[in-house]
Structure 1
Amino acid sequence: MHSYPGMVAVVGVHSEKGVNFMAAGWHAYLSMDPPMYGVAIGRERYTYQEVKEVGAFSINFLPYEQAAFIQYSGTFSGKHVDKGRESLWYLTESSLPLLKDAYLAYECELNQMVPTGDHDWVIGDIHTCHYRDGIFGDDGLPDFEQLHIPLYLGRSTYLKLDSSTERIEIERSEFDKKS
């Protein structure tokens, strides 16, 4: 299963047991209207039961400088480690934990959990979006001078996407010439 590099989302959940965060490599936007987000969570994971019980979760995107926490949150189970004590977070009005260092975060209400083999696709309705001021330009693209995005390469290894990363912009007219 080689689907790397990829962005990692950190799922947050708050229950009577406390706050937990879990890194997830399989996640995606599912709908713009209504806004929905999905994340694959193994049924044996501590986070899975917490999300199922609470009926809500957050999706947090952290900068490259937080890659060690991303790896930590995906390696150790909240059943044995209090990840809420290992991170800086706050609760929203809807009682969802957001990581203070997140440059982008969603508050999601659980819509459904769809079995997909050894994981469930956990689908949430996005009801609130949080983002750090000044990170995204008028074109919606991140300012890579300020933001360094971690891309997971597998085997606990991350690549930094920043302003030094070579980019190419493909104009639609390039495709029109071929048709």
Structure 2
Amino acid sequence: MEKVRLDPNQLPPMPVALAGTMVEGRVNFMAAGWITRLGFKPPLIGVSINHRQWTGSGIQETGAFSLCFPGPALVEKTDYCGLVSGRNADKSALFDVFYGETPGAPMIRECPLCLEMRLYQTVELPSNRFFIGEIKAAWADGDILADGQVDMEKFQPLLLTMPDNRYWTLGRPVADAWSVGKALKKEKHHESVGH
């Protein structure tokens, strides 16, 4: 198939979260989609937030934040939190807010999965700040777990695609990671040993 050159702002699907922190003494949440895992030990995750966003100043002020991952039932409230600034509206009033062990990291009880973090590092980018957080605790609804782990089919996390700006959920699993390629690895190893 022939490749077609596109505008460089084509992005793979991204998880959607409600980033929470305290800003000027008030609980605030914003919709965030530019999120990625960065490390295993310590467990690090990063979120990119535009310089204009009120939430970013709160993360800098408190050194703490949360990422609360909504399911499809919260899509309207999630989108609202991306449309309205916490400077002008109390978005925390939409949710049942709870706290774990990290002061300054409010979380949303209605979100099936919540991570509380201490700020590990901030990277200044031209239009955004990339906040890297060390995950201090994870909180999940019991009904999305299987064998003590989050079951993605039960959870159905929201995903964001750009530039079409649409919310999605996951489809069916395709294969097991670090497993499906083992037969090919073995085959290629035998080929290289045989030569």
TM-score past 0.5 threshold: yes
Displacement of 1:23 after TM fit? 1.2
1:103 partner amino acid: P
Distance change in 2, residues 1:56/1:87 (3 Å): same
Q: Larger Rg: 1 or 2? A: 2
Instruction: Note if contact 1:28-1:39 (Cα within 8 Å) is conserved in structure 2.
Output: yes
Mapped partners of 2:168, 2:152: distance in 1: 17
Q: Match of 2:160, as an amino acid?
A: Y
Name the CA distance, whole Å, in 2 between partners of 1:131 and 1:75: 26
Q: CA RMSD in A?
A: 2.1
Could you tell me which runs of 5 or more consecutive residues in structure 2 were left unpaired when the two chains were aligned. Answer: 1-8, 189-195
Q: How far off is 1:67 after superposition?
A: 0.9
2:14 match: 6
State the 1:136 CA deviation. 2.9
In the superposition, the TM-score normalised over structure 2's length comes to 0.80
Number of aligned pairs?
A: 175
The more displaced of 33-42 and 94-103 is: 94-103
Once the two structures are superposed, the pairs formed by residues 160-175 of structure 1 within 5 Å of their partners are: 160-161=169-170, 165-169=171-175, 171-175=180-184
Q: Secondary structure at the match of 1:167?
A: coil
- Secondary structure, in 3 states, of the residue corresponding to 1:34? coil
Give runs of aligned pairs for residues 75-90 of structure 1, distance below 5 A.
75-90=83-98
50, 53, 61: which one pairs with 1:45?
53
- CA distance in structure 2 between the partners assigned to 1:157 and 1:123 by the alignment: 25
Give the distance between the partners of 1:44 and 1:28, measured in 2 at CA: 21
The structure carrying a bigger strand percent of its residues is 1
Which protein has the bigger helix share?
Answer: 2
- Secondary structure of 2:116's counterpart equals strand
Distance in 2, matches of 1:91 and 1:173, equals 42
Contact 1:20/1:84, CA 8 A, preserved across alignment: yes
Equivalent position to 1:98, from 95, 102, 107: 107
> 1:23: which partner in 2?
31
Q: Structure 1 residues 156, 8: closer, same or farther in 2, change over 3 A?
A: same
For the 8 Å contact 1:61–1:103, the answer to whether it is kept is yes
Find the partner of 1:107 among 104, 113, 116.
Answer: 116
Q: Which amino acid aligns with 1:104?
A: L
Determine if contact 1:65/1:148 at 8 Å carries over to the other structure.
no
1:55 matched residue in structure 2: 63
What is the aligned partner in structure 1 of residue 167 from structure 2?
158
Per the alignment, residue 147 of structure 1 pairs with 155
Q: Which residue of 2 aligns with 1:133?
A: 142
Deviates more, 1:105-114 or 1:133-142: 133-142
Identical residues among aligned pairs (%): 27
Q: Identify the range of structure 1 (51-60 vs 127-136) with the bigger mean alpha-carbon deviation.
A: 127-136
* Letter matched to residue 102 of structure 1: C
Q: Name the residue aligned to 1:118.
A: 127
